[in-house]
Amino acid sequence: MGTPIWVFLPTYNEAENLEAVVRATAEQLERIEPSNWRVLVVDDASPDGTGALADRLASEIPGVEVLHRAGKDGLGSAYLAGYRHAVAGGAELVIVMDADFSHDPQHLPAMIAAAADSDLVLGSRYVAGGQIADWPPLRRVLSRSGSLYARIILGIKVNDLTTGFRCVRRRVLETVEPATLRSQGYVFNIELTYRALLAGFKVTEVPICFRDREAGQSKMSLPIAFEALLLVPQLRLLRHEDARRATDARSPRRRTRWRLPPWPTRLGKLLGLLGMDPAGNGSVGVPPADPSPRTPVFTGPPTQLSDVPDHAEVADGSQAAPGARHVPSSDQP
């Protein structure tokens, strides 16, 4: 029998933070599900000794495991490795969080409680009760603007699409198939949430207090932020009628085999998709419709299609966690 709750932490040069966050996470999980949890450290061969420190913690704390990767291969790749390892270990809930205390382990009980009647729980900075500490005004504006931009482009009303603090049910991972996500870095989380909504899953936002790291260096950079601005519009290719099959409440959920186009890698191609020339001139918005859109292929018998509204509505949810807000499965993008 597998372990129902897994928390994994992608790490690269987090030796200054790792021990404290792993011990705090293990303490919270032991209170929630005694002796029935795992903490997984996914380390990308950190040169500062993070991997060796993780090995020591695994030898000292029952329930802690380490997944060593050959080298730094990107945040999206680390997410995939963590999700894959947890599902193979029998996880029913998989939680991913930063290893620098930006995501406080004290929020774990509220997120796990919210997952009792939700498929995807987001630790949100931008719902009532959520907040950001220690950030200067300009960084706050840029972060909020990025989330608002993604919401407008994708036509959904999830307040914090870019949050990396999330709790995912196994059935979401089996349906969405993260290995087929084309996004890397911070767009990975946006795409995962968007696909979950398209597949008819219920998304809940739980308020958290996000704190800036006190030790180590942030992995965010301007190129990563610019990538997000350019790639988010391409997610609308998923809004094809075949994707609506997964939202038909009269049919059981089934595994979806997603076939998506690879992301363009050159700046000129990206700008062209946005109706701009290489100099950056032209309008920015949703790209023109693809004449031969790629569609997800569903296994099982065909089902009757149901119409999907242009915008998903966010309604007040249950009291599983104070301030939580739900995107009901009946209101899909």
Greatest mean pLDDT among 164-173, 231-240, 315-324: 164-173
Burial of 163 (0-12, 13-18, 19+ CB in 10 A): buried
How much is the mean pLDDT over the chain? 77
In whole angstroms, give the CA distance from residue 165 to residue 53: 23
Average pLDDT over residues 260-278: 46
Average pLDDT over residues 77-104: 95
pLDDT at 319 over 90: no
Q: Quote the tokens at residue 285.
A: 């918005």
pLDDT in tens, 131-140: 998 888 887 8
Q: Quote the tokens at residue 118.
A: 């939700």
Do 258 and 177 meet the contact criterion of CB atoms below 8 Å apart?
yes
- pLDDT category at 279 given cuts 50, 70, 90 is very low
Do 79 and 10 meet the contact criterion of CB atoms below 8 Å apart?
yes
- Among residues 131, 90, 102, 130, the alpha carbon closest in space to that of 219 is found at 102
- Please give the residue that has the higher pLDDT: either 258 or 325: 325
pLDDT at 14 over 70: yes
Angle of helix 187-198 relative to helix 137-154, nearest 10 degrees, comes to: 30
- Among residues 249, 218, 234, 142, the alpha carbon closest in space to that of 184 is found at 234
Q: What percent of the chain is modeled with pLDDT above 90?
A: 51
Q: What local confidence, expressed as pLDDT, does residue 34 receive? A: 95
Give the domain ranges of the chain: 5-217
Q: What local confidence, expressed as pLDDT, does residue 222 receive? A: 58
Q: In this structure, what is the dihedral angle of CA atoms 21, 26, 32, 35, given to the nearest 10 degrees? A: 170
Burial of 6 (0-12, 13-18, 19+ CB in 10 A): buried
Q: What local confidence, expressed as pLDDT, does residue 132 receive? A: 92
Give this prediction's pTM: 0.73
In whole angstroms, give the CA distance from residue 15 to residue 53: 7
Fold of 5-217: Spore Coat Polysaccharide Biosynthesis Protein SpsA; Chain A (3.90.550)
